[in-house]
Amino acid sequence: MRGALLIGGTTSDAGKSMVVAGLCRLLAREGVAVAPFKAQNMSNNSVATLDGGEIGRAQAAQARAAGLEPSVRFNPVLLKPGSDRQSHVVVRGRESGVVGAADYASWRERLRGVVLDDLESLRAEFDVVLVEGAGSIAEVNLRGSDIANLGLASAAGLPVVVVSDIDRGGSLAHLFGTTAILDPADQRLVRGHLVNKFRGDPALLAPGLARLAELTGRPTLGTIPFEPRLWLDAEDSLASPVGARLGPPGPAPADALNVAAIRLPRVSNTTDVEALAAEPGVQVRWVADPASVADADFVVVPGTRATVDDLDWLRERGIADVLVRRAAARQPILAVCGGFQLLGTRIVDEVESGRGTVDGLGIFDQTVVFASEKTVRRSVGSAWGHRAAGYEIHHGTVAESTEHPWLSADDGTPEGAERETLWGTHWHGLLENDGLRRDLLGRVGAARGKPFTAGTVAFEEVRAQQLDVIADLLAAHVDRAALTAIVEGRDATPPVITHSLA
């Protein structure tokens, strides 16, 4: 099997990331040299690579599925939203400026060359390259500046398979309309459909798929069942709504530790709390109200891409006052990266918000100063006798602190802060270290009078099991022969949709 394929979507969060990860896993298990690629990603969930860059979380998971280390080659352009109108642009892992929605087109030609070069190099090195599109491929208003969907497919000669999430409703109309609205040349790139998250009897859907094939001239290559066991490595903040419970399906034990993860408006690296949810004695929910924060056994303040703005939001919501009262009462709090910065005495920010010196929550006695150059690196160290690894992606650094460090990096650098039941760190991914995570939860349980019984499965094993679940779903429900023909360019060119539905 040799070739490349772009997995596009009718919407954001349709399942593109999952399909690419599953196909990477499936092909890698069969001995195919496969690599993932996403030309342009918009996400605040990112991961540091070995070479000191950062890429979208989904591409790191897809690389893992393919048996590869995360690399900036897999996601050459990463847009990290700092507001509704501006994003920080990361090119080949390095921050390259701030761009507004209106002037992004001026970056187009430079970025187009970057993504095409990286895609070409991957295609020369691997048997198969699976390309993930961005959002919907039918955003025709953006077609002129597109480098992630049909603009990329056209320039690189990629066939396209479109995924739709039927659990949202309207899937057949989405699939028809997504192709029908395109120009004829772009329509010919669309070779087939995948229906994702189907619940019920496939026989009831069959007439609709037959009609869709009749109207579009394109086959549905598979109907992927809804699988409640899939919940790890969410890329999009759409997967972290307020009130959502993280973790495997099924009720939590009556004596479970109740964890409240604060859903900040510009939350980043939401995946940091997923390792907590993997423990059978822990229940994790995203919250945005003072009562939920006050009632929780354990509160996590996650990272944010707009530290000072989200500090304002905490105060407006009344959550800031609850956090201060929790800290005074020695009720457990963990703060990560931007969340850690929020808990300090002062924030000096002339970089991200440009607001200068701002008072933090004063829970930790520390001053955070934002540097123009971003820190992006993997880190290894220890805490409480446990080996621990993580990664850092931040502008703000602790310039002054009277707090006791929580961690010690292998280079001797102290990291984070620890005071009784308060913990803070700039290290993302820290909770994925089994020994440290379980020790932390044991301390939380002791503080709350709820004995914590640790799970027996390593978090990396949980993650690997999920990748295998996705691969098995695709193996069972996708027409492999038809998909292979599309990847290798052996399928027939489909027709342009010109007729009406009457």
* Active-site position among 337, 394, 395, 426: 337
Q: How far apart are CA 180 and CA 36, in angstroms?
A: 28
- 348 Cβ neighbours under 8 A, 6+ residues apart: 356, 357, 358, 367, 368, 369, 370, 399
Contact call for residues 406 and 431 (beta carbons, < 8 A)? no
The three-class DSSP label of residue 331 is coil
Question: Is the four-CA dihedral 88, 89, 90, 95 of positive or negative sign?
Answer: negative
Residue 124: phi, psi to the nearest 5?
A: -75, -25
The three-class DSSP label of residue 257 is strand
47: exposed, middle or buried (Cβ count in 10 Å: 0-12, 13-18, 19+):
buried
Nearest Cα to Cα of residue 494 among 209, 206, 180? 180
Catalytic residue status for 337 = yes
Task: For strands 94-100 and 86-91, give the pairing.
Answer: antiparallel
Strand partners, 149: none
The H-or-E segment that residue 136 falls in is none
Catalytic residue status for 428 = yes
Q: Which amino acid is at 218?
A: R
* Active-site position among 174, 394, 426, 428: 428
Question: Is the four-CA dihedral 409, 414, 415, 421 of positive or negative sign?
Answer: positive
Nearest Cα to Cα of residue 302 among 334, 327, 331, 346? 334
Q: How far apart are the first and last CA of the chain?
A: 41
Contact call for residues 368 and 341 (beta carbons, < 8 A)? yes
Q: How far apart are CA 337 and CA 270, in angstroms?
A: 12
Q: How far apart are CA 218 and CA 212, in angstroms?
A: 8
The H-or-E segment that residue 22 falls in is helix 16-29
Nearest Cα to Cα of residue 362 among 327, 393, 407? 327
Q: Which amino acid is at 273?
A: V
- Within 13 Å, how many C-alpha atoms sit on residue 192's CB side? 21
For the chain, what is the largest distance between any 2 Cα atoms, rounded to a whole number of angstroms? 73
Contact call for residues 383 and 408 (beta carbons, < 8 A)? yes
Q: Which residues are catalytic?
A: 337, 428
